[in-house]
Amino acid sequence: MSQLLRTRPATTEAMLAVFDDRATLRHALAFEAELARAEAAEGLIGAPEAEAIADLCATIVIEPAALAAEAALAGTLAIPLVARLRKALPEAAAKALHKGATSQDVADVVLVRQIREGHALLSTDLARVLAALDALARRHAARPAIGRTLLQDALPIGFGLRIAHWQAGVADAAGRLLREVETGAVLQFGGAAGTRAGLAGRGAPVAARLAAALHLADAAPWQARRGAVAGIAAALAIVIGALGKMARDISLLAQNGVGEAREPAVPGRGGSSAMAHKRNPTGCQIALSACQRAPGLVAGILAGLPAEEERGLGGWQAEGPAIADLFLLAAGAADAMAGVAEGLEIDEAAIARNLEAAGLGVDIGESAALVEALLDTGRRKPSPG
């Protein structure tokens, strides 16, 4: 059953594809194929068996709905998947399949590969946001505007300073996510109890070959240490929150009584089914809705950190769906706010009118210099792509 009417309004088609059933199966089959090749290279299984496994993984057609029902019964995707592969292989290759691996190895490798693909995709839209905000902040760095604290008129600021803070927040969050993904989305290969048993002492070279083939960093088994996944989840939520800060401010600036900035006019977006005169900040709505959902998803992952002994029960199994949802929400927010930033309409007359009405003068302090400092710091941060 499709759930696109629920999921698509909050995300992008491209990010949905990263986490869909086809992608999940592709990564799981890649794990089994490359594990067999790595073990054959280390003399643990025969080369003909490895190629039979790899060929099958490249050509087998599996109906996701049927496999999902079997996985629900088994408790993990790997059990019915491996059973199907073994049934289709000659006896020697069937015995060689999945040697030294366990179900969690498959699940974690699928997850970290999707994390890396999702991050690369998300980075593109974050870069769009950063570039557009950089240009806007510089253009309006010295434009006097009323600053507001606790939702009340405060003192004048450079209008570009507010935008520079949006940009700096997104840049900080993008850099944090990059670091978490680079250090945390790495190979998991430990076998039944995380000892790499049954590999004749060749577990480390097998892991190194497997990591290289899957384009992952090699690592010691981490199946019971879930801090890296939690760190990625938290960093995703911070990205969403940084985009939400920008969305919140723009939606406030777009109010009829303020009118200092508004989303670009896009045919079919921002209207009302009942009130033709309305121009709703729908892009901001997408980001702010994501902000409502993200903290609960992260909390669920944090709750799984005290994993039981060598493999936890219920904690890590909850991570995959939550991480997928966080990436979907982040992608929707980033895509929406990239479009908003690139076409943001700034009403200079309204800014001046509101400032004059406040009667607080035009002294914007060191706003222009602070804009430069914030944007220069952002440029020195690691690229989000």
β strands within 4-86, DSSP E? none
Single out the catalytic residue among 26, 179, 311, 353. Answer: 311
Indicate whether 350 and 272 sit together in one domain. yes
Tell me whether residue 334 is in a domain: yes
Range of the domain at 373: 102-186+222-385
Q: What's the CATH number where 264 sits?
A: 1.20.200.10
152 and 135 in a common domain: yes
What are the tens digits of pLDDT across the range 365-376? 999 999 999 998
> 3-state DSSP call for residue 107?
helix
CA dihedral of 228, 231, 232, 237, whole degrees rounded to 10: 160
Task: State the pLDDT at residue 174.
Answer: 98
Distance of CA 127 to the CA centre of its chain: 14
Percent of all residues in the chain with a pLDDT value above 70, rounded to a whole number = 95
Question: Contact 28/81 with Cβ under 8 angstroms?
Answer: yes
Task: Please check whether residues 51 and 149 belong to one and the same domain.
Answer: no
323 CB-near residues (< 8 Å, 6+ apart): 111, 114, 115, 229, 232, 233, 236, 301
- Is the domain of 85 the same as that of 108? no
Residues 116 and 22 in one domain: no
User: Domain for residue 7, yes or no?
Assistant: no
156 and 61 in one domain?
no
Residues 44 and 158 placed together within one structural domain of the fold: no
The pLDDT score that the predictor gives to residue 377 is: 81
Assigned token pair, 161: 């300073």
Domain total of the chain: 2
**211 falls within a domain:** yes
Looking at the DSSP bridge assignments, the partners of residue 146 are: 156
Residues 31 and 176 in one domain: no
DSSP assignment of 215-268 equals T-------TT--HHHHHHHHHHHHHHHHHHHHHHHHHHHTSTTT-SEEPPP-TT
Question: Do 35 and 74 belong together in one domain?
Answer: yes
Q: What average pLDDT score do residues 331-345 get? A: 98
Residues 190-248: pLDDT tens digits?
999 999 999 999 999 999 999 999 999 999 999 999 999 999 999 999 999 999 999 99
Span 52-80, average pLDDT = 96
Angstrom distance (rounded) from CA 307 to CA 309: 6
By CB neighbour count within 10 A (0-12 exposed, 13-18 middle, 19+ buried), where does 107 fall? Answer: buried
What integer is the mean pLDDT of 47-68? 97
Residue 262 is a catalytic residue:
no
Whether 5 is in a domain gets the answer: no
Specify whether 311 is catalytic: yes
Work out the mean pLDDT of the chain and round it to a whole number. 95
Active-site residue, from 22, 272, 379, 383: 272
Residue 3: band (very low, low, confident or very high) from pLDDT cuts 50, 70, 90: confident
Q: Confirm whether pTM is higher than 0.85.
A: yes
Q: How confident is the model at residue 266 (pLDDT cuts 50, 70, 90)?
A: confident
Final residue of a structural domain among 219, 239, 260 = 219
Residues 113, 16: Cα–Cα separation, whole Å: 15
Give the length of the chain.
Answer: 385
> Are 138 and 371 spatial neighbours (Cβ–Cβ below 8 Å)?
yes
pLDDT above 90 for 272: no
Structure token digits, residue 259: 């009118």
Phi, psi values for residue 333, rounded to 5°: -65, -45
With a cut of 70, say whether residue 273 has pLDDT above it: no
* Mean pLDDT, residues 124-150: 98
Average pLDDT score over residue span 57-79: 96
Tell me what pLDDT residue 385 has: 46
Continuous segment of H or E residues that includes residue 384: none
Lookup: tokens for 232:
């990625």
364 band by pLDDT with thresholds 50, 70 and 90: very high
* Residue 277: band (very low, low, confident or very high) from pLDDT cuts 50, 70, 90: low
Residue 281 is assigned to a structural domain of this protein: yes
Q: For residue 83, what is the domain's CATH number?
A: 1.10.275.10
Task: Examine the domain organization and report whether 236 and 324 are in the same domain.
Answer: yes
Annotate 145-195 with DSSP letters as a single string: EEEEETTEEEEEEEHHHHHHHHHHHHHHHHHHHHHHHHHHS------TTSS
pLDDT at 5: 85
52 occurs within a structural domain: yes
Residues 247 and 342 in one domain: yes
Residue 6 lies in a domain: no
